[in-house]
Amino acid sequence: MALVIFLLVLVVSAVSGDEDAFIGVNIGTELSDMPHPTQVVALLKAQQIRHVRLYNADRGMLLALANTGIRVAVTVPNDQLLGIGQSNSTAANWVSQNIVAHYPATNITTICVGSEVLTSLPNVAPVLINALKYIQSALVASNLDRQIKVSTPLASSIILDSFPPSQAFFNRTWNPVLVPMLKFLQSTGSYFMLNVYPYFDYIQSNGVIPLDYALLGRSPNKEAVDANTLLHYTNVFDAMIDAAYFAMADLNITNIPVLVTESGWPSKGDSNEPDATTDNANTYNSNLIRHVLNKTGTPKHPGIAVSTYIYELYNEDMKTGPMSEKNWGLFDANGNPVYILRLTDSGSVLANDTTNQTYCTAKQGADAKMLQAALDWACGPGKVDCSPLLQGQACYEPDNVAAHSTYAFDTYYHQMGKTPGSCDFNGVATITTTNPSHGSCIFPGSSDRNGSLLNSTIPAMDSKSSGSSPAKFLYSNAFFAANTLIGLLWIAILL
């Protein structure tokens, strides 16, 4: 079974100089079998993921994240923006219910007000500034404005003429919104949030952009040179970040740090999406993680890493659109890695290998009679101590054959040293990296014996919620948002 090495660690200073740069993950919920919030948190802990971004403020997820120390970015869903942007009291109620009710037990650090509002919901754009200000005012009233930043993620397509970066500028249509927004971010010490997808730049360039340049794999001796600044670029990601800095400078703003709220690469696509492969996804995300954590920075701001949230934690099989839309995740719904990230030789980092953090569970949908037979065997000839499954004991609840089988299967699996074939039970068992412990029922293979990983009092997430991540295939990327063609000098040097 494919097992992942994943790394997340805090390292360099951001542009603002007062916070460390990081790699985080986005958590979408459009899965037909969305894991319970506490299972999600168990996976985050196992992978030592310390920063997450939610596409809503799901109560179950926020409760599960309590007392973990994981830094959380929550989102005001787009369909709630109109009400919040038109009413200070509505914004105050939202903050009271979704922030104050959970903080500080849940380490909420950021509120994303909407997602790509200018490009995906332009009719709401006129109230976006008010929504930002009203949310900020509610935080001030609760004395949380210094602990929690407020901003709004934007699509990179709002940046025009972005190649070479020095000539980039924002779509002037949005200046009535962008200018006061940037002033708001400046006055509150917040971030300019940007979604950056070199994958779309690459596939829509019709061969103009080399694949390795999109994958952050360009060698230093094959660089694109910005003729205006003589800055050398080895990848699309850095070029887009610097384009954002230059676009802000075009509006006389030079001191707002960029935070990449989404970036990734799909691991699978339709027949007409040949570059959506596990190898390319692995290469991009592995290179991205190293790039952020190795203090590389960008040509315009060398040594200053740009904090980035990888899109995304899980494959979302309920997404509409092409096959690639469903396959941006690092893990499947069972917590199994889609591919093994290549993170060796990435410097002084904290890497986590899940090879020693696997569990044996009952397969979902397995025949109840076969499960019962396997459970009887495990607790008998298999010599598993099943006393914790007796009524009144820690693992009795939930009282069903699947839950009891999972305990027995996992115990046997670990008793046998996790040898090949010890998690099969005539086909009704499967290996997962998600810790099945719950409440006071701590499984023998659990690496975390101090906390409850599953808690029946925490509600499950609503996969149909309005806070789902936006469809990626709808992006109009910055490469083709420009009104002019890419400069011939830029292309000539690039190739």
Q: Which residues are catalytic?
A: 116, 262
3-state helix, strand, coil in the chain (%, to 5): 35, 15, 50
Count other C-beta atoms under 10 Å from residue 390's C-beta: 10
What is residue 432's three-state secondary structure? Answer: strand
Nearest alpha-carbon partner for 12 in 261, 351, 347 = 347
Backbone torsions φ then ψ of 482, nearest 5 degrees: -65, 145
* Residue 83: alpha-carbon gap to chain centroid: 27
Backbone torsions φ then ψ of 314, nearest 5 degrees: -115, 150
DSSP state of 33: T
- Amino acid 421 reads G
Residue with tokens 């917590």: 335
Q: How far is CA 249 from CA 84, 212, 253, 256, in A?
A: 30, 29, 5, 10
488 vs 495: CA distance, rounded Å: 11
Q: DSSP of 170-201, one letter per residue?
A: E-GGGHHHHHHHHHHHHHHT--EEEE--HHHH
User: Cβ distance 16 to 257 under 8 Å?
Assistant: yes
Task: List, in order, residues 6 or more apart from 464 with CB less than 8 Å away.
Answer: none
359 vs 407: CA distance, rounded Å: 10
